Amino acid sequence: MLGDLLQKLNLHCSWHRLYAVLTKEFIQMRRDRVTFAMIISIPLMQLILFGFAINTNPKKMPTVVIAYDYSPFTRSFIAGLKNSDYFMVKDDVKSEAEAKRLLATSRTQFVITIPSDFTRRLLRRENSQILLEADATDPVATGSATSAISLLAQSVFNPLLQGSLQYLQNCPRDKSNSFIDNCSSPVNVITHANYNPEKITAYNIVPGLLGVVLTMTLVMITGMGMTREREKGTMEHLLSTPVKPLEVMLGKLMPYVIVGYIQVFLILAAAKYLFNVPFHGSIILLVLATLPFITANLSVGLTFSSLAKNQLQAAQMSTFFFLPSLLLSGFMFPFRGMPYWAQKVGSILPLTYFLRITRGIILKGNGVAEIWPDFWPIVVFMVVAILIALKRYRKTLD
């Protein structure tokens, strides 16, 4: 049967002609350096990002400890936090007000408060407590924090409560009133999930989609649209008129700014009426903070259009920019739980900062002072992207 199939193929197809066409396509693919580079680089980038940067079980989450008790038990507990894989304690924070500010601006994930009567209650078996305040705008990052602290407290305090203090351990007893090794933590951890008490995933995802959708659509439609204009020859027709190149560029980009704001209001309406996401901040502040982000993405798309020879290359370049933005910005996975090098790469991308701004304004009610540390990097990226786009665009027009 296989022989009959090969015989029919030989009647309708010449292997020599097929080989010639196949060779010609490979040669053409090799000559298209941009496409060939994307074929190699995009799978490698996906492999590196998913293999090394993505971590669904985050570690070394930034943590602030406010201790009003200075006993050996407290010092041992703080030392245990520093030696754990889950928490990364910041030693330079001393006041509760500063800790609250860091939590509001997403500079820390947890604030652990040890009350002044902690040791006294522990020794008297009076329900000694530790307060854990978590930034629950990212439920994945805070999911296992309570159990991690309880296990840590058990491993730290139970070895210290020996001899005459062994009765303070939460250890069950057998019939002879002897302690059994199956002990629990002698400390109660009280958890406050700030900004998202019910840990609803939509509260984290939907505000983040605001930046993701803008990045994906604006970069791609700008890059492909301007490339299409050049392919059809309409760009040369425009330049033959008295219109200046800068006026052409601004006239081409301004409609996309309006498109971006239409997307913003559609997503905000869906967040409010479909997903019941609370809006605690100023919508005017969010609209103003969105403008440099939209402009930055349009400038990136304009740069890609000046580099691409056709629409396919423009789409490939857009994917090359969008993929790390999606994975390294903190949209899908906790940003603070990524490796150090991945955080450095993510810190270059404007989406990383815009996600903090949108979640901060919508879920936390942040104002200008709180969003400023994330706003100015977007402005810097926007200015650099505009300068590169202008230089490349003028060179393309010439």
Residue that is written with structure tokens 């201790």 in the block: 67
287: pLDDT strictly greater than 90: yes
3-state class (DSSP) for residue 286: helix
pLDDT recorded at residue 189? 83
Question: How far lies 139's CA from each of 147, 208, 267, in Å?
Answer: 14, 13, 21
pLDDT digits (tens, 9 = 90+) for 255-267: 899 999 999 999 9
For the cut 80, the answer to whether the pLDDT of residue 346 exceeds it is yes
Residues 6 or more apart whose Cβ sits within 8 Å of residue 21: none
Instruction: For residues 385 and 184, give the distance between their C-alpha atoms in angstroms, rounded to a whole number.
Output: 56
Angle 392-396-398 (CA atoms, 0-180°, nearest 5)?
120
All domains of the chain, ordered by start, with CATH? 61-194 (3.40.1710.10), 201-397 (no CATH)
Reported as a pLDDT band with limits 50, 70 and 90, residue 218 is very high
Highest mean pLDDT among 18-27, 82-91, 152-161, 238-247: 82-91
**pLDDT of 8 above 60:** no
Q: What is the pLDDT of residue 161?
A: 54
Provide mean pLDDT across the span 154-178: 53
| pTM confidence score | 0.82
For the chain, the average pLDDT equals: 81
| Nearby residues of 283 by Cβ (< 8 Å), 6 or more positions away | 268
User: What mean pLDDT do residues 280-290 have?
Assistant: 95
CA-closest candidate to residue 172, choices 162, 184, 164, 163: 184
What 8-state DSSP symbol labels residue 336?
A: G
Whole-angstrom distance, CA of residue 314 vs CA of residue 224 = 6
Better pLDDT: 2 or 307: 307
Write down the pLDDT at residue 190.
Answer: 86
Reported as a single tens digit per residue, the pLDDT across 34-67 is 666 667 777 777 777 777 667 767 778 889 999 8
Structure letter (DSSP) for residue 91: T
Residues with Cβ within 8 Å of 78's Cβ and at least 6 positions away in sequence, in order, are: 65, 67, 89
DSSP annotation of 360 reads I
Residue 177 has pLDDT above 50, yes or no: no
Phi then psi for residue 397, to 5 deg, are -65, -40
Q: Is 88 helix (H, G, I), strand (E, B) or coil?
A: strand
What is the mean pLDDT of the segment spanning 266-270?
A: 94
- Positive or negative, the CA dihedral 365, 369, 374, 378 is positive
Q: Which among 172, 108, 105, 155 has a CA at the least distance from the CA of 134? A: 108
Question: pLDDT tier at 179 (50, 70, 90 boundaries)?
Answer: very low
